């Protein structure tokens, strides 16, 4: 199915694209801006005193709802008009930002972040559909590339804006930056953006939405709960994990048997499509985990300001922006396997370089590793995304793009859940000897996180405990980085093997039932 083509003048096409790019910056800013505020939110003196598990949920709730609501948002846009759903997404995003800014507790923040993810999910597929309807085929690829470039802008702006706001105001101010962007975007949408619908509407998929959301949420809950209790044998750990896997399996079976699936698992019968998506999931798995512990390393263990932390992450964002176009050109010449596979291996090496970080490591080394990692990510992401879509028949490329976006978000959810749990568990093990002599109440208060340990150390006037917390955190960060590196190396090997030949003389199209329409 395709959206009805609209006859729109070239000047208006440019205005539509400008508005959509401006609105999309919201999605990408919010993927990075919260990380700058996590240290303050975790601190019981300056924030909410959130536990590591609550912080994992604050980050993961956004990706969870984003991943599972993408297909429902696209179907609603087909039925009621994509501009309508885009506007609702922006309103949802803005309202949730206000809620998050003044959240009185960690639970409220988590719920607000989930609502922001829902708003983002309503914005992404509708924006792509509007671009598809607004631009003719000859200009469509360039428009999509320009829209996609907004991700680099948002990723780079997030830490910088977050650092400025946290240093001068309070942690909740990082969410208020969304309000003027949403307001200007709404005005622009009302003035210039059309409201295309599908000629033949897709049916909503409420069962698939419930199964996928509940399954992924339960899986993430079990993994995060393991980090809080450090006991995988507790029923509160294994029961949610098992239930989540069962629901995700049921979701796959349901979608496979559906004549019009929202998430089409048949696409994974193509080896290159499967390998590319799994490799990208591994990459986003590692990136999300690194952003989580990196902020605590810089602001907590090293004592840097929020703005200095944002500046320290800037080389990575610049490297990503530089590496993406280079990767696309190199892949056309040497093939996806050598270029993207090597890129992922370099990213894995950068994670291993994290093992050299200590509390007094020169910041220039941290920035250098970040820049190299960013360039390598660019080499890997752009060619791989293009390749996994290109292996599909033309009428399945829309569905493949939607699946690709979802798989990457699922990688982010699992990255924050599993790597965050590894970080928490490793920290508890390393700090335990330093806390053994404390009274039981103080020991229990200091155990959950480095922020809690520092707060107890301040109250007891024990600077030695602050040093112990910093070194224990760095050690736990090393364990987490090593786990991420292994995952990325596996993704790189999978990509290199799947794309070991530059071209296929006759790529095997994915066979699907007639009722499976492109998304």
Distance in angstroms (rounded) separating the CA atoms of residues 95 and 178: 10
Task: Write down the architecture of domain 269-513 according to CATH.
Answer: Up-down Bundle (1.20)
Residue 229 has pLDDT above 70, yes or no: no
**Over the stretch 307-338, which tens digit does the pLDDT of each residue have?**
888 888 889 888 887 887 788 788 878 888 88
3-state per-residue secondary structure call for 485-500: HHHHHHHHHHHHHHCC
Q: Which residues of 411-427 are buried (b: 16+ CB within 10 A; e: fewer)?
A: bbbbbbbbbbbbbbbbb
Confidence at residue 392, expressed as pLDDT on a 0 to 100 scale: 67
The 10 Å CB-count burial string (b at 16+, else e) for 182-200 is: beebbebbeebbbbbbbee
**217 has a pLDDT exceeding 90:** no
Looking at the chain, the whole-number percentage of residues with pLDDT higher than 70 is: 86
pLDDT per position as a tens digit, 473-518:
999 999 999 999 999 999 999 888 888 765 443 344 444 333 333 3
Which is higher by pLDDT, 258 or 391? 258
pLDDT score at 518: 33
State the distance between the two ends of the chain, measured CA to CA, in whole angstroms: 7
Sign of CA dihedral 324, 326, 332, 338: negative
Q: Which helix (H) or strand (E) holds 467?
A: helix 463-498
pTM over 0.85: no
- Other C-beta atoms closer than 10 Å to the C-beta of 250 total 16
DSSP state of 204: P
Q: How confident is the model at residue 2 (pLDDT cuts 50, 70, 90)?
A: very low
The residues pairing with 490 across neighbouring beta strands, listed in sequence order, are none
Is the predicted pLDDT of residue 1 greater than 60, yes or no?
A: no
User: Mean pLDDT, the chain, as a whole number?
Assistant: 80
* Residue of 155 and 291 predicted with greater confidence: 291
> Do 491 and 282 touch, CB atoms closer than 8 A?
yes
Give pLDDT tens digits for 231-287: 666 777 778 888 888 988 888 888 788 777 777 777 777 778 888 888 988 998 898
Q: Of the CATH numbers 2.40.160.20, 3.30.70.270, 1.20.1250.20, 2.40.100.20, which one belongs to the domain with range 1-204?
A: 1.20.1250.20
């Amino acid at each position: 199915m395709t959206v009805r083509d609209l006859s729109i003048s070239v000047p208006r096409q440019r205005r539509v694209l400008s508005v959509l790019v401006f609105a999309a910056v919201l999605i990408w800013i919010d993927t990075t801006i919260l990380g700058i505020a996590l240290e303050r939110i975790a601190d019981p003196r300056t924030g909410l005193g959130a536990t590591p598990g609550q912080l994992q949920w604050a980050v993961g709730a956004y990706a969870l709802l984003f991943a599972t609501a993408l297909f429902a948002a696209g179907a609603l846009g087909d039925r009621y008009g994509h501009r309508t759903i885009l506007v609702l997404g922006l309103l949802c995003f803005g309202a949730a930002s206000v809620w998050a800014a003044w959240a009185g507790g960690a639970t409220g923040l988590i719920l607000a972040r989930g609502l922001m993810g829902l708003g983002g999910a309503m914005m992404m597929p509708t924006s792509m559909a509007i671009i598809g309807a607004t631009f003719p085929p000859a200009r469509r690829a360039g428009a999509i590339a320009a829209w996609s470039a907004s991700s680099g802008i948002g990723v780079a702006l997030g830490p910088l804006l977050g650092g400025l706001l946290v240093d001068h105001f309070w942690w909740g101010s990082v969410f208020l930056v969304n309000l003027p962007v949403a307001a200007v975007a709404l005005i622009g949408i009302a003035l210039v953006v059309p409201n295309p619908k599908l000629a033949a509407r897709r049916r909503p998929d409420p069962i698939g939405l419930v199964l996928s959301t509940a399954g992924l949420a339960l899986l993430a809950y079990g993994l995060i709960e393991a980090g809080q209790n450090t006991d995988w044998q507790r029923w509160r750990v294994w029961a949610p994990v098992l239930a989540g896997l069962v629901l995700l399996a049921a979701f796959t079976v349901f979608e496979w048997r559906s004549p019009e699936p929202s998430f089409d698992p048949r696409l994974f019968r193509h080896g290159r499509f499967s390998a590319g998506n799994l490799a990208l999931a591994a990459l986003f798995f590692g990136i999300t985990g690194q952003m989580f512990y990196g902020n605590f390393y810089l602001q907590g263990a090293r004592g840097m300001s929020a703005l200095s932390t944002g500046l320290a992450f800037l080389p990575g964002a610049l490297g990503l922006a530089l590496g993406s176009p280079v990767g696309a050109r190199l892949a056309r010449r040497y093939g996806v396997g050598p270029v993207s596979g090597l890129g992922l291996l370099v990213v894995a090496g950068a994670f291993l370089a994290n093992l050299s970080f200590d509390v007094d490591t020169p910041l220039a080394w941290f920035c250098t590793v970040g820049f190299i990692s960013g360039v390598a990510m660019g080499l890997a992401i752009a060619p791989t995304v293009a390749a996994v879509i290109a292996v599909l028949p033309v009428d399945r490329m829309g569905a493949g793009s939607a699946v690709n976006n979802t798989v990457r978000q699922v990688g982010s959810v699992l990255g924050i859940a599993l790597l965050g749990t590894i970080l928490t568990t490793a920290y508890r093990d390393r700090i335990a000897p330093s806390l053994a002599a404390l009274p039981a109440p103080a020991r229990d208060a200091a155990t959950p996180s480095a922020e809690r340990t520092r707060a107890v150390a301040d109250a007891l006037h024990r600077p030695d405990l602050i040093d112990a917390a910093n070194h224990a955190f760095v050690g736990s960060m090393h364990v987490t980085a090593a786990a991420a590196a292994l995952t990325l190396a596996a993704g790189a090997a999978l990509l290199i093997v799947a794309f070991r030949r530059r071209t296929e003389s006759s790529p095997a199209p994915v066979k699907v039932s007639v009722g499976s329409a492109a998304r």
